[in-house]
């Protein structure tokens, strides 16, 4: 005979002990979570109330201190030397008005001069430029040494002042002569041997390039490099060698008359 089999008996879902137990545990966990959330919310409300109360107390203390303060104890010089202060103010105000008027007159005069120059002919303009040469306040640059390193001083904040009135000019560091030699450039490199007249001598990463004069490959024996009369005549016929004439509008008038 074989092994006796147990007859399966169907148990409804509502009568199963495992499901009921799991649902009970889940309900208890949800209740605990709700309790924790409620306590956190209550604590936030209590904290806000405490903060509001502390702020109210501080404001009340500050108000009491201001009420008790004696304004007469504050020392001020507002009522002292009113006449002298007024006279000093009048002097400053008159100087300001005079300065503003001079600035306006200078601007108007400059505009008139610009308009007058615009209406000049070429001959009159050349004569005006000869009598009114441009002022060059740039300092004379030093002669560069052999193989001297080049430093660019930048292109911003060089000449224009920082304010509209022009009282705060550019800093003195921008007027420094950046062509002056520094460091190793102060040494005369022309006395060095030919092999040492290179940049970064002795370094593994240096290049064979030395300087422009040494790398010049111009063949001065070539006829094209001669500066003779024939070459000068040929150069004068190239484009852009002659000055550009100012258009007078003659061609447009001739075209409209057709």
Q: What residue numbers bound the domain in which 29 lies?
A: 21-60
Measured CA distances, 103 to 97, 114, 148, 186 (Å): 10, 16, 46, 47
d(CA 251, CA 249): 6
The SS3 call for residue 219 is: coil
Q: Cα–Cα distance between 216 and 209 in angstroms, integer?
A: 11
Q: What's the domain count of the chain?
A: 2
In a domain, 101, yes or no: no
Q: Is residue 51 part of a domain?
A: yes
Query: Has this prediction a pTM greater than 0.85?
Result: no
For 95-114, write each residue's pLDDT tens digit: 999 999 999 999 999 999 88
Residue 176 lies in a domain: yes
In this prediction, residue 138 carries a pLDDT of: 61
Residue 53 lies in a domain: yes
Whether 193 is covered by a domain: the verdict is yes
Give 150-169 pLDDT, tens digit per residue.
887 766 655 655 555 555 55
Residue 248 lies in a domain: no
Asked if residue 43 is part of any domain, the answer here is yes
Other Cβ atoms within 10 Å of 198 Cβ, number? 19
pLDDT given for residue 230 in this prediction: 77
Interval 29-42: pLDDT, tens? 888 899 999 899 89
Q: What angle do CA 120, 117, 108 make, to 5 degrees?
A: 145
Q: Is residue 180, in this structure, part of any structural domain at all?
A: yes
């Amino acid at each position: 005979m074989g092994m006796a089999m147990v007859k399966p008996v169907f148990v409804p879902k509502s009568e199963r002990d495992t499901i009921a137990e799991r649902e009970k545990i889940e309900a208890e966990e949800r209740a605990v979570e709700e309790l924790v959330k409620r306590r956190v919310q209550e604590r936030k409300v209590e904290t806000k109330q405490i903060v509001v109360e502390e702020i109210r107390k501080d404001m009340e203390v500050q108000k009491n201190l201001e009420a008790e303060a004696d304004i007469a104890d504050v020392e001020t010089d507002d009522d002292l030397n009113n006449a002298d202060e007024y006279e000093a103010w009048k002097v400053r105000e008159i100087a300001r008005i005079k300065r503003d008027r001079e600035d306006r007159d200078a601007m108007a005069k400059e505009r008139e001069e610009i308009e007058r120059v615009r209406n000049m002919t070429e001959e009159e303009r050349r004569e005006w430029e000869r009598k009114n040469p441009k002022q060059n306040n740039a300092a004379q640059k030093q002669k560069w040494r052999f193989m001297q390193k080049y430093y660019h001083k930048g292109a911003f904040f060089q000449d224009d002042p920082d304010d509209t009135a022009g009282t705060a000019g550019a800093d003195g560091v921008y007027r420094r002569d950046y062509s002056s030699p520094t460091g190793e450039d102060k040494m005369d490199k022309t006395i060095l041997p030919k092999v040492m007249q290179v940049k970064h001598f002795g370094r593994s990463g240096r290049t064979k390039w030395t300087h422009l004069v040494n790398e010049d490959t111009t063949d001065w024996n070539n006829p094209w490099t001669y500066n003779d009369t024939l070459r000068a005549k040929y150069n004068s016929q190239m484009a852009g060698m002659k000055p550009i004439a100012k258009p007078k509008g003659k061609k447009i008038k001739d075209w409209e008359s057709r």
